[in-house]
Amino acid sequence: MKADYSTEMRELTETVRAFAAKELSPFADELDREERLAPGIFKRLAELGILGITSAEEYGGAALGAVAVVGVMEELSYADPGTCLSYLAHTLLFAHNLEQNASKEQLARYLPGCITGELVGGMAMTEPGAGSDAVGMVSRAEKVDGGWVLNGTKMFITNGPIGDVFLVYARTGAGRQDLSTFIVERGFKGFAVGKKLSKMGMRSSPTGELIFRDCFVPAENLVGSPGGSVKHMMKNLDIERVGLAAMSLGIARACLDHSLKYANERQQFGADIIGFQAVSEKIANMYIGYRAARALVYEAAQVIDEGRRANQEAAAAKVFASEMATRVGLDAIQVLGGYGYIREFPVERLMRDAKLLEIGGGTSEILRGVIIKEFQRKFSK
Protein backbone atom coordinates (compact mmCIF):
# COMPACT_ATOMS: atom_id res chain seq x y z
CA MET A 1 0.00 0.00 0.00
CA LYS A 2 1.31 3.46 -0.86
CA ALA A 3 2.55 5.51 2.10
CA ASP A 4 0.18 8.39 1.27
CA TYR A 5 -2.84 6.14 0.70
CA SER A 6 -4.55 7.07 3.97
CA THR A 7 -4.33 10.76 3.11
CA GLU A 8 -5.53 10.10 -0.44
CA MET A 9 -8.44 8.02 0.84
CA ARG A 10 -9.43 10.62 3.41
CA GLU A 11 -9.48 13.37 0.78
CA LEU A 12 -11.49 11.18 -1.59
CA THR A 13 -14.12 10.20 0.96
CA GLU A 14 -14.44 13.76 2.26
CA THR A 15 -14.99 15.03 -1.28
CA VAL A 16 -17.64 12.40 -2.00
CA ARG A 17 -19.27 12.97 1.39
CA ALA A 18 -19.60 16.71 0.73
CA PHE A 19 -20.97 16.07 -2.75
CA ALA A 20 -23.52 13.52 -1.52
CA ALA A 21 -24.66 15.78 1.33
CA LYS A 22 -25.38 18.58 -1.13
CA GLU A 23 -26.52 16.75 -4.26
CA LEU A 24 -28.25 13.62 -2.92
CA SER A 25 -29.33 13.75 0.72
CA PRO A 26 -31.85 16.62 0.35
CA PHE A 27 -33.58 14.83 -2.54
CA ALA A 28 -33.33 11.15 -1.50
CA ASP A 29 -36.91 10.86 -0.24
CA GLU A 30 -38.26 12.56 -3.36
CA LEU A 31 -36.23 10.28 -5.65
CA ASP A 32 -37.49 7.25 -3.73
CA ARG A 33 -41.09 8.42 -3.93
CA GLU A 34 -40.91 9.21 -7.65
CA GLU A 35 -38.75 6.16 -8.49
CA ARG A 36 -36.14 8.02 -10.51
CA LEU A 37 -32.49 8.99 -10.54
CA ALA A 38 -31.43 12.57 -9.91
CA PRO A 39 -31.28 14.36 -13.31
CA GLY A 40 -27.78 14.43 -14.78
CA ILE A 41 -26.31 12.48 -11.88
CA PHE A 42 -23.88 10.48 -14.04
CA LYS A 43 -22.42 13.66 -15.52
CA ARG A 44 -21.98 15.09 -12.03
CA LEU A 45 -20.33 11.90 -10.76
CA ALA A 46 -18.01 12.10 -13.77
CA GLU A 47 -17.06 15.67 -12.83
CA LEU A 48 -16.27 14.36 -9.37
CA GLY A 49 -13.80 11.95 -10.99
CA ILE A 50 -15.29 8.69 -9.70
CA LEU A 51 -17.15 7.16 -12.67
CA GLY A 52 -13.99 5.38 -13.74
CA ILE A 53 -12.65 4.88 -10.25
CA THR A 54 -10.85 1.62 -11.07
CA SER A 55 -10.21 2.37 -14.76
CA ALA A 56 -6.82 3.17 -16.26
CA GLU A 57 -5.78 6.80 -16.57
CA GLU A 58 -5.34 6.44 -20.34
CA TYR A 59 -9.14 6.21 -20.63
CA GLY A 60 -9.75 9.03 -18.15
CA GLY A 61 -10.06 6.83 -15.08
CA ALA A 62 -8.71 7.32 -11.57
CA ALA A 63 -6.80 3.98 -11.49
CA LEU A 64 -7.72 3.34 -7.84
CA GLY A 65 -8.57 0.03 -6.23
CA ALA A 66 -11.15 -1.78 -4.14
CA VAL A 67 -10.39 0.15 -0.94
CA ALA A 68 -11.26 3.38 -2.77
CA VAL A 69 -14.42 1.75 -4.12
CA VAL A 70 -15.48 0.93 -0.55
CA GLY A 71 -14.90 4.49 0.64
CA VAL A 72 -16.87 6.02 -2.23
CA MET A 73 -19.78 3.61 -2.03
CA GLU A 74 -20.19 3.95 1.71
CA GLU A 75 -20.46 7.73 1.36
CA LEU A 76 -22.89 7.64 -1.57
CA SER A 77 -25.07 5.06 0.22
CA TYR A 78 -25.10 7.13 3.39
CA ALA A 79 -26.96 9.76 1.33
CA ASP A 80 -28.93 7.67 -1.16
CA PRO A 81 -28.32 3.92 -1.62
CA GLY A 82 -30.39 3.81 -4.83
CA THR A 83 -28.12 6.26 -6.60
CA CYS A 84 -25.12 4.25 -5.39
CA LEU A 85 -26.62 1.05 -6.80
CA SER A 86 -26.88 2.60 -10.26
CA TYR A 87 -23.34 3.92 -9.85
CA LEU A 88 -22.14 0.41 -8.92
CA ALA A 89 -23.83 -1.17 -11.95
CA HIS A 90 -22.24 1.39 -14.24
CA THR A 91 -18.78 1.51 -12.67
CA LEU A 92 -18.17 -2.07 -11.53
CA LEU A 93 -20.58 -4.29 -13.45
CA PHE A 94 -19.93 -2.55 -16.77
CA ALA A 95 -16.77 -0.40 -16.80
CA HIS A 96 -14.58 -2.44 -14.46
CA ASN A 97 -15.84 -5.71 -15.94
CA LEU A 98 -15.16 -4.46 -19.45
CA GLU A 99 -11.63 -3.37 -18.60
CA GLN A 100 -10.86 -6.74 -17.05
CA ASN A 101 -12.00 -8.74 -20.07
CA ALA A 102 -12.28 -6.66 -23.26
CA SER A 103 -9.83 -5.90 -26.07
CA LYS A 104 -7.97 -2.61 -26.41
CA GLU A 105 -10.21 -1.68 -29.34
CA GLN A 106 -13.36 -2.31 -27.32
CA LEU A 107 -12.03 -0.31 -24.38
CA ALA A 108 -11.11 2.63 -26.61
CA ARG A 109 -14.60 2.55 -28.11
CA TYR A 110 -16.69 2.39 -24.93
CA LEU A 111 -14.71 3.19 -21.80
CA PRO A 112 -14.03 6.93 -22.28
CA GLY A 113 -17.75 7.63 -22.81
CA CYS A 114 -18.61 5.72 -19.64
CA ILE A 115 -16.05 7.63 -17.62
CA THR A 116 -17.32 11.04 -18.82
CA GLY A 117 -20.94 10.06 -18.22
CA GLU A 118 -21.85 10.28 -21.91
CA LEU A 119 -22.81 6.61 -21.76
CA VAL A 120 -24.65 4.81 -18.96
CA GLY A 121 -23.73 1.16 -18.64
CA GLY A 122 -25.09 -1.98 -17.03
CA MET A 123 -24.73 -5.74 -16.98
CA ALA A 124 -27.36 -8.28 -18.06
CA MET A 125 -26.93 -11.70 -16.49
CA THR A 126 -30.06 -12.59 -14.48
CA GLU A 127 -33.03 -14.09 -16.31
CA PRO A 128 -36.63 -14.82 -15.31
CA GLY A 129 -35.65 -18.44 -14.64
CA ALA A 130 -31.96 -18.05 -13.77
CA GLY A 131 -30.84 -16.03 -10.77
CA SER A 132 -28.54 -17.70 -8.26
CA ASP A 133 -27.83 -20.37 -10.88
CA ALA A 134 -26.38 -17.90 -13.37
CA VAL A 135 -24.95 -20.58 -15.66
CA GLY A 136 -28.46 -21.96 -16.02
CA MET A 137 -29.40 -19.07 -18.32
CA VAL A 138 -31.23 -19.86 -21.55
CA SER A 139 -30.57 -16.71 -23.60
CA ARG A 140 -28.72 -17.83 -26.71
CA ALA A 141 -26.48 -16.26 -29.34
CA GLU A 142 -26.05 -17.97 -32.73
CA LYS A 143 -23.10 -17.29 -35.01
CA VAL A 144 -24.00 -15.69 -38.36
CA ASP A 145 -22.10 -13.85 -41.07
CA GLY A 146 -20.53 -10.76 -39.56
CA GLY A 147 -21.64 -11.39 -36.00
CA TRP A 148 -24.16 -13.05 -33.74
CA VAL A 149 -27.95 -13.16 -33.37
CA LEU A 150 -29.05 -12.91 -29.75
CA ASN A 151 -32.39 -14.12 -28.35
CA GLY A 152 -33.64 -14.11 -24.79
CA THR A 153 -34.86 -12.02 -21.88
CA LYS A 154 -32.94 -10.55 -18.96
CA MET A 155 -34.64 -9.58 -15.69
CA PHE A 156 -33.88 -7.28 -12.72
CA ILE A 157 -31.29 -5.31 -14.69
CA THR A 158 -30.03 -2.23 -12.85
CA ASN A 159 -29.96 0.78 -15.20
CA GLY A 160 -31.99 -1.27 -17.71
CA PRO A 161 -34.55 1.48 -18.40
CA ILE A 162 -31.91 4.20 -18.90
CA GLY A 163 -28.76 2.40 -20.04
CA ASP A 164 -26.96 3.06 -23.32
CA VAL A 165 -24.74 -0.02 -23.39
CA PHE A 166 -24.76 -3.40 -21.63
CA LEU A 167 -22.56 -6.41 -21.13
CA VAL A 168 -24.90 -9.28 -21.97
CA TYR A 169 -24.23 -12.94 -21.21
CA ALA A 170 -25.68 -15.62 -23.48
CA ARG A 171 -25.27 -19.30 -24.25
CA THR A 172 -23.18 -20.07 -27.35
CA GLY A 173 -22.73 -23.83 -27.06
CA ALA A 174 -24.24 -27.05 -25.76
CA GLY A 175 -22.19 -27.27 -22.57
CA ARG A 176 -23.46 -25.84 -19.30
CA GLN A 177 -20.56 -23.39 -19.14
CA ASP A 178 -20.56 -22.43 -22.82
CA LEU A 179 -21.40 -18.80 -22.13
CA SER A 180 -20.16 -15.72 -23.96
CA THR A 181 -20.20 -11.98 -23.31
CA PHE A 182 -21.44 -9.37 -25.78
CA ILE A 183 -21.44 -5.58 -25.77
CA VAL A 184 -24.96 -4.56 -26.76
CA GLU A 185 -25.88 -0.97 -27.51
CA ARG A 186 -29.34 0.38 -26.89
CA GLY A 187 -29.85 1.14 -30.60
CA PHE A 188 -29.10 -2.36 -31.90
CA LYS A 189 -31.93 -3.79 -34.00
CA GLY A 190 -33.89 -6.42 -32.10
CA PHE A 191 -33.04 -5.00 -28.67
CA ALA A 192 -35.89 -3.60 -26.58
CA VAL A 193 -36.31 -2.40 -23.02
CA GLY A 194 -39.24 -4.12 -21.31
CA LYS A 195 -41.20 -2.90 -18.34
CA LYS A 196 -39.62 -0.81 -15.61
CA LEU A 197 -39.96 -2.66 -12.29
CA SER A 198 -41.42 -1.03 -9.18
CA LYS A 199 -39.48 -2.18 -6.13
CA MET A 200 -39.71 -2.28 -2.35
CA GLY A 201 -36.43 -0.41 -1.99
CA MET A 202 -33.60 1.12 -4.02
CA ARG A 203 -36.40 2.92 -5.82
CA SER A 204 -34.23 5.77 -7.11
CA SER A 205 -32.26 3.19 -9.10
CA PRO A 206 -34.14 2.25 -12.30
CA THR A 207 -34.49 -1.51 -12.76
CA GLY A 208 -36.05 -3.28 -15.71
CA GLU A 209 -36.34 -6.09 -18.19
CA LEU A 210 -34.27 -6.35 -21.38
CA ILE A 211 -35.60 -8.24 -24.40
CA PHE A 212 -33.59 -9.59 -27.33
CA ARG A 213 -35.49 -10.79 -30.39
CA ASP A 214 -33.13 -11.69 -33.23
CA CYS A 215 -30.84 -8.92 -32.01
CA PHE A 216 -27.83 -8.63 -34.30
CA VAL A 217 -24.53 -8.08 -32.47
CA PRO A 218 -21.45 -7.32 -34.64
CA ALA A 219 -18.56 -9.78 -34.39
CA GLU A 220 -16.32 -7.08 -32.91
CA ASN A 221 -18.67 -6.82 -29.91
CA LEU A 222 -17.92 -10.31 -28.65
CA VAL A 223 -15.82 -9.91 -25.49
CA GLY A 224 -13.00 -12.43 -25.34
CA SER A 225 -13.46 -15.82 -26.92
CA PRO A 226 -16.72 -17.77 -27.32
CA GLY A 227 -17.51 -19.86 -24.26
CA GLY A 228 -15.10 -17.97 -22.01
CA SER A 229 -17.51 -15.97 -19.91
CA VAL A 230 -17.63 -18.03 -16.73
CA LYS A 231 -14.09 -16.78 -16.09
CA HIS A 232 -15.28 -13.23 -16.82
CA MET A 233 -18.01 -13.60 -14.20
CA MET A 234 -15.68 -15.00 -11.56
CA LYS A 235 -13.07 -12.31 -12.14
CA ASN A 236 -15.54 -9.52 -11.36
CA LEU A 237 -17.49 -11.07 -8.48
CA ASP A 238 -15.11 -10.17 -5.64
CA ILE A 239 -15.09 -6.42 -6.20
CA GLU A 240 -18.84 -6.40 -6.94
CA ARG A 241 -19.58 -8.09 -3.62
CA VAL A 242 -17.22 -5.80 -1.73
CA GLY A 243 -18.95 -2.81 -3.34
CA LEU A 244 -22.38 -4.07 -2.29
CA ALA A 245 -21.08 -4.70 1.23
CA ALA A 246 -19.80 -1.12 1.32
CA MET A 247 -23.29 0.09 0.47
CA SER A 248 -24.51 -1.74 3.59
CA LEU A 249 -21.97 0.20 5.64
CA GLY A 250 -23.37 3.51 4.39
CA ILE A 251 -26.94 2.48 5.17
CA ALA A 252 -26.05 1.26 8.67
CA ARG A 253 -24.08 4.39 9.50
CA ALA A 254 -26.95 6.60 8.35
CA CYS A 255 -29.43 4.63 10.49
CA LEU A 256 -27.08 4.89 13.47
CA ASP A 257 -26.76 8.66 13.08
CA HIS A 258 -30.51 9.17 12.74
CA SER A 259 -31.10 7.00 15.82
CA LEU A 260 -28.52 8.86 17.90
CA LYS A 261 -29.93 12.25 16.96
CA TYR A 262 -33.49 11.21 17.75
CA ALA A 263 -32.63 9.41 21.00
CA ASN A 264 -30.72 12.45 22.29
CA GLU A 265 -33.61 14.81 21.51
CA ARG A 266 -36.72 12.74 22.21
CA GLN A 267 -37.95 12.80 25.79
CA GLN A 268 -40.33 10.40 27.52
CA PHE A 269 -41.10 10.22 31.25
CA GLY A 270 -39.07 13.42 31.67
CA ALA A 271 -35.78 12.06 30.28
CA ASP A 272 -33.94 11.64 26.97
CA ILE A 273 -34.76 8.17 25.67
CA ILE A 274 -31.08 7.37 25.07
CA GLY A 275 -30.87 6.98 28.84
CA PHE A 276 -33.27 4.02 28.74
CA GLN A 277 -31.41 0.73 28.63
CA ALA A 278 -33.63 -0.84 25.97
CA VAL A 279 -32.89 2.05 23.60
CA SER A 280 -29.21 2.45 24.43
CA GLU A 281 -28.60 -1.27 23.95
CA LYS A 282 -30.02 -1.11 20.43
CA ILE A 283 -27.85 1.86 19.52
CA ALA A 284 -24.74 0.26 21.01
CA ASN A 285 -25.40 -2.89 18.98
CA MET A 286 -25.84 -0.80 15.82
CA TYR A 287 -22.39 0.67 16.37
CA ILE A 288 -20.80 -2.69 17.15
CA GLY A 289 -22.32 -4.28 14.03
CA TYR A 290 -21.24 -1.40 11.83
CA ARG A 291 -17.65 -1.43 13.09
CA ALA A 292 -17.34 -5.20 12.78
CA ALA A 293 -18.73 -5.16 9.24
CA ARG A 294 -16.44 -2.29 8.29
CA ALA A 295 -13.40 -4.32 9.34
CA LEU A 296 -14.53 -7.30 7.24
CA VAL A 297 -15.27 -5.17 4.20
CA TYR A 298 -11.97 -3.29 4.25
CA GLU A 299 -10.04 -6.52 4.81
CA ALA A 300 -11.65 -8.05 1.70
CA ALA A 301 -10.92 -4.88 -0.29
CA GLN A 302 -7.30 -4.97 0.82
CA VAL A 303 -6.97 -8.59 -0.38
CA ILE A 304 -8.27 -7.55 -3.81
CA ASP A 305 -5.87 -4.62 -3.98
CA GLU A 306 -3.00 -6.98 -3.21
CA GLY A 307 -3.90 -8.90 -6.36
CA ARG A 308 -5.23 -12.00 -4.61
CA ARG A 309 -8.58 -13.73 -4.97
CA ALA A 310 -10.94 -12.62 -2.23
CA ASN A 311 -13.71 -15.12 -2.92
CA GLN A 312 -14.16 -16.18 0.69
CA GLU A 313 -13.39 -12.80 2.24
CA ALA A 314 -15.76 -10.92 -0.11
CA ALA A 315 -18.54 -13.44 0.47
CA ALA A 316 -18.15 -13.21 4.25
CA ALA A 317 -18.05 -9.40 4.15
CA LYS A 318 -21.19 -9.15 2.03
CA VAL A 319 -23.20 -11.63 4.12
CA PHE A 320 -22.28 -10.03 7.43
CA ALA A 321 -22.60 -6.42 6.27
CA SER A 322 -25.90 -6.86 4.42
CA GLU A 323 -27.61 -8.75 7.23
CA MET A 324 -26.23 -6.24 9.73
CA ALA A 325 -27.62 -3.30 7.71
CA THR A 326 -31.12 -4.79 7.55
CA ARG A 327 -31.05 -5.46 11.30
CA VAL A 328 -29.78 -1.94 12.01
CA GLY A 329 -32.53 -0.50 9.79
CA LEU A 330 -35.21 -2.37 11.72
CA ASP A 331 -33.70 -1.33 15.04
CA ALA A 332 -33.58 2.31 13.90
CA ILE A 333 -37.30 2.17 13.13
CA GLN A 334 -37.89 0.74 16.61
CA VAL A 335 -35.84 3.50 18.26
CA LEU A 336 -37.83 6.18 16.43
CA GLY A 337 -41.11 4.40 17.15
CA GLY A 338 -44.07 5.78 15.23
CA TYR A 339 -41.86 8.39 13.58
CA GLY A 340 -39.59 5.66 12.28
CA TYR A 341 -42.52 4.02 10.53
CA ILE A 342 -43.62 7.06 8.56
CA ARG A 343 -41.94 8.46 5.49
CA GLU A 344 -41.25 11.83 7.06
CA PHE A 345 -38.16 10.20 8.58
CA PRO A 346 -35.63 8.39 6.36
CA VAL A 347 -35.02 5.22 8.38
CA GLU A 348 -37.92 3.30 6.85
CA ARG A 349 -36.50 4.03 3.38
CA LEU A 350 -33.03 2.97 4.46
CA MET A 351 -34.37 -0.31 5.86
CA ARG A 352 -36.17 -1.03 2.58
CA ASP A 353 -32.99 -0.24 0.67
CA ALA A 354 -30.90 -2.48 2.92
CA LYS A 355 -32.91 -5.62 2.24
CA LEU A 356 -31.88 -5.81 -1.42
CA LEU A 357 -28.25 -6.24 -0.42
CA GLU A 358 -29.03 -9.64 1.11
CA ILE A 359 -30.29 -10.70 -2.34
CA GLY A 360 -28.40 -8.98 -5.19
CA GLY A 361 -24.88 -10.04 -6.15
CA GLY A 362 -25.36 -13.44 -4.52
CA THR A 363 -27.93 -14.17 -1.82
CA SER A 364 -26.75 -14.71 1.73
CA GLU A 365 -27.67 -18.38 1.37
CA ILE A 366 -25.59 -18.82 -1.78
CA LEU A 367 -22.63 -16.92 -0.32
CA ARG A 368 -22.54 -19.08 2.80
CA GLY A 369 -22.18 -21.98 0.36
CA VAL A 370 -19.30 -20.17 -1.34
CA ILE A 371 -17.52 -19.85 2.01
CA ILE A 372 -17.90 -23.57 2.71
CA LYS A 373 -16.71 -24.53 -0.80
CA GLU A 374 -13.57 -22.49 -0.24
CA PHE A 375 -12.90 -24.40 2.97
CA GLN A 376 -13.47 -27.69 1.16
CA ARG A 377 -11.12 -26.65 -1.65
CA LYS A 378 -8.39 -25.67 0.81
CA PHE A 379 -8.69 -28.85 2.88
CA SER A 380 -8.69 -31.09 -0.19
CA LYS A 381 -5.19 -29.97 -1.21
Please report which helix (H) or strand (E) contains residue 42, including its range. helix 41-48
**Residue 348 among the catalytic residues:** no
Contact 190, 216 (CB under 8 A): yes
Residue 141 gets which letter from DSSP? E
Q: What are phi and psi of 145, to 5 degrees?
A: -60, 125
Amino acid identity, position 185: E
In angstroms, the CA 59 to CA 326 distance is 37
Residues whose CB is less than 8 angstroms from the CB of residue 259 and which lie 6 or more positions away in sequence, other chains included: 282, 283, 286, 331, 332, 335, 336, 347
Count of C-beta atoms within a 10 Å radius of residue 365 = 11
- Strand 207-218 relative to strand 179-185: parallel, antiparallel, unpaired? unpaired
Core vs surface per residue 75-106: b (16+ CB within 10 A) or e: bbbbbbbbbbbbbbbbbbbbbbbbbebbeeeb
Residues whose CB is less than 8 angstroms from the CB of residue 248 and which lie 6 or more positions away in sequence, other chains included: 77, 293, 318, 321, 322, 324, 325, 354, 357
Q: Which of 196, 200, 199 is nearest to 208 (CA)?
A: 196
Given 127, 240, 313, 348, the catalytic residue: 240
Residues whose CB is less than 8 angstroms from the CB of residue 62 and which lie 6 or more positions away in sequence, other chains included: 49, 50, 52, 53, 54, 55, 68
**Residues annotated catalytic, as ranges:** 240
